[in-house]
Structure 1
Amino acid sequence: MKMKYYLRYFSVFTLLFLAFSCGNSDDDVNLDLNFGDGLGKGEPVDECLNLGESDLVLSIQEQYTTLPGKVSILFKVSDTDGNPISQLTANQFTIYEQGRNDECFNTISASESFARISPNSQIFNSNTLLVLDLSNSVLSSSLDELKTASVTFVNNVMPATTEESYKMAIYWFDGEDELHLLNDLTSSKEELVAAIDSITDDISNDPSTDLYGAVIKSTKIAEDLLKDNIKDDVIGAASVVVFTDGTDQASRYKEEEALKKVTEANGNISFFTIGLGAEIDTQVLSDIGKTYSVFAGNAEELENTFNDISLKISERANSFYLFEYCSPKRDGSGDNNLAIRVVDGSRQGAVQTKFSAKGFTGGCE
């Protein structure tokens, strides 16, 4: 089936990076959505497979077929607490198919079916918005430490080699009613690092802090990015990372407005906050950073806190897998059930879906 077919349904649901806050934990699978037990477009596996209780959750985000016989499934892997599972390899997955004449599922050889984990760039984009507080208190006392920590953050989040599916933009705010663009969305680490290096202590003209305005505006930018992804037949996810060393002083927007914007944001957007010093409101920042929040007592701790956030973002991005294999089913077999199981050490999980083999022939690679 064509990708367009599936994406008609995607606009109704929010499929990626489903995050909600429970004691500021790192929760990825939103069980409140009408997706069964957090399985996305999948469903629990048939009992005939007798796979036992799952420790891992495979949430199918999208699936499609490509002639002559390739089946492609984009899914996310988490543990039962919602923590993302990254760095899985194709040999950790087992494929099962069930056709119309099969009482239960048959195991499909991973080698004979050319099973592989493929780059997901053709159908998935991961965008990060780094939003920096450059009010007077930061510029006068912790700018050098912030720049060092931000460069480390960029190097950790962005892939070692440039990939168009992973992009970052950097914004900054002070007391003005504007979210200033430091560097537009790009996949170039070098460009982002150069932008950070260009920050000087005289960049701001307003010493106040418009924190709530920055949260509202950056969320709107992230939502617009996801809309653009859908127009391009791409599933998008975004992370908004806000750094500040204080509370909102500009008072242009209410706290309730900012929190409402975060709470009602597209479920594909994750929110992280980094707080510095004794003047922050940790509860407010935890509410804004509903996915994960960290706090540094002084400027020297900034790099470590930025590292914590970068690890969380990388784990999330790398817990999405495009798993592909060549099915032995052929044209005329109709709809076939498919189950995918993953084993990671002592943990395992599985998910079931179905695909049509219409037009399938041999020769798939």
Structure 2
Amino acid sequence: MNSSFKLILFFLSIALFVSCGNADDDVNYALNTGDGLGQGQVVDDCLDLGENDLILSIQDQFTKDPGKVSIFFKVSNSDGTPVSGLTADQFTIYEQGRNDDCFNTISTSESNARISPNEQIFSSNTLLILDLSNSVLQSSLEELKTASTSFVNTVMPATTQDSYKMAIYWFDGEDVLHELNPLTSVKSELTEAIASINNDISGDVSTDLYGAVIKSTDIATDLLNESTQGEKIGAASVVIFTDGKDQASRYSKDAAQKKVDTADPNISFFTIGLGSEIDTEALTAIGKTSSEFAANKEELEDTFNKISDLVSERASSFYLFEYCSPKRGGDNNLAIQVQKGSLQGAVQTKFNADGFTGGCE
């Protein structure tokens, strides 16, 4: 056997090994959190739309007879900042069939283009983790309750939606992450739970911050796995508040940081610190998505609001855009452009219109 043939067999064996690996790895309904266009691609030069100021990252797409095309995507600025609040009239649809040299604009009104509720394919879970150790209970409990209530009111939608849920947990010095309110989509349940917090809730004056980080990450991971069953796409956010350093020394800082750093990329981490006794460096590292610090309890609500705005914007930057296509067969290219003020961005994909007929609504 000559060396060239041996080399070919070697590479064939590697390819076979890779292709026959864990089959579960071939199916992933998680969000595309990396830079770029997700499942989409750069728009053809014939449209001459220019550089993207806004990034449309396609997460999933599908068609439904008699002619509906649905695209699920997130929108962000070029620096990764989420863009929320877009409406259907800010989007332009372009299609290119097999006989078209370039794309043709499709009327958004004639195609019944719309931003649709995305409950059927998207799930966003938020965990609010509160430090209720002795120092908080004795000096800033009322301010924390006000700030936490404001956080819930900002993050949770005005009307109950099954795709947006939140749970609240608290910690002190015990080796337990206490559940204040289980995961729910009902805002009033969360605010009532916060109102029920009193000075007698904790019996341990210490602070098991790193234990709370580890346990909350495990809970977020389980929720993400559960919420992405059945081809559903999901994201989770962990928001941790504390007014001090880890005092329990039950878990190491390195163990907590490793838990955060190796967590599913679809879990976002936020931290909120209060006062002068916090470890800002540790909290910044744990809150790898964003961290905010309040110098005193009077600043606490504003600090919570900064984080709640970020959590809300991230969840609201995912869109399910649907329209009725005039195409009636074959593979067709699709480009979607969004404009917000002077900023624009676009992404291209394709869909199959075999079997499409009139009557799409």
TM-score (norm 1): 0.90
Give distance in 2, aligned partners of 1:189 and 1:107.
42
CA contact (8 A) 1:246 1:281 kept: yes
Tell me which of 128, 135, 141 is aligned to 1:143: 141
Describe the SS at the equivalent of 2:198. coil
Give distance in 2, aligned partners of 1:149 and 1:230.
31
* Pairing of 1:301-316 with structure 2 (within 5 A): 301-316=299-314
Give distance in 2, aligned partners of 1:162 and 1:228.
20
* Pairing of 1:70-149 with structure 2 (within 5 A): 70-149=68-147
Give structure 2 stretches of 5+ with no counterpart.
1-23
Q: What's the offset of the Cα at 1:233?
A: 3.0
Question: Cα deviations across residues 217-249 of structure 1 (Å, max 9, x unaligned)?
Answer: 111111111111121432111110000001111
Question: Cα deviations across residues 151-208 of structure 1 (Å, max 9, x unaligned)?
Answer: 1111111111111111110000111111110000011111101101111111112111
Describe the SS at the equivalent of 1:310. helix
Describe the SS at the equivalent of 1:259. helix
Q: Please name the residue that 2:342 is paired with.
A: 346
Give distance in 2, aligned partners of 1:250 and 1:275.
18
Amino acid paired to 2:339? V
Amino acid paired to 2:181? N
CA contact (8 A) 1:133 1:244 kept: yes
Question: Cα deviations across residues 65-110 of structure 1 (Å, max 9, x unaligned)?
Answer: 1111100011111010011111111011011111111111111111
Q: Please name the residue that 2:160 is paired with.
A: 162
Give distance in 1, aligned partners of 2:27 and 2:205.
41
CA contact (8 A) 2:30 2:228 kept: no
Amino acid paired to 2:336? I
Describe the SS at the equivalent of 2:228. helix
Give distance in 2, aligned partners of 1:224 and 1:275.
26
Q: What's the offset of the Cα at 1:288?
A: 0.6
Describe the SS at the equivalent of 2:360. coil
Give distance in 1, aligned partners of 2:182 and 2:231.
22
CA contact (8 A) 2:151 2:305 kept: yes
| Poorly superposed stretches of 4+, deviation over 3 Å | 8-14
CA contact (8 A) 1:14 1:266 kept: no
Give distance in 2, aligned partners of 1:270 and 1:51.
32
Tell me which of 341, 344, 355 is aligned to 1:359: 355
Q: Please name the residue that 1:234 is paired with.
A: 232
Describe the SS at the equivalent of 2:320. strand
Give distance in 2, aligned partners of 1:136 and 1:11.
46
Q: What's the offset of the Cα at 1:112?
A: 1.1
Q: Please name the residue that 1:270 is paired with.
A: 268
Give distance in 2, aligned partners of 1:335 and 1:11.
24
Question: Cα deviations across residues 106-143 of structure 1 (Å, max 9, x unaligned)?
Answer: 11111111000111111111111000001111111111
Identity %: 71
Give distance in 1, aligned partners of 2:352 and 2:210.
49
Describe the SS at the equivalent of 2:344. strand
The higher radius of gyration belongs to 2
Q: Please name the residue that 2:14 is paired with.
A: none
Tell me which of 62, 65, 71 is aligned to 1:64: 62
Give distance in 2, aligned partners of 1:9 and 1:81.
29
- How many residue pairs were aligned? 338
Tell me which of 31, 48, 55 is aligned to 1:15: 31
Shift in CA distance, 205/10, structure 1 to aligned 2, threshold 3 Å:
farther
Describe the SS at the equivalent of 1:100. coil
Q: What's the offset of the Cα at 1:13?
A: 6.6
Give distance in 2, aligned partners of 1:45 and 1:311.
32
Q: Please name the residue that 2:47 is paired with.
A: 49
Cα RMSD (Å): 1.3
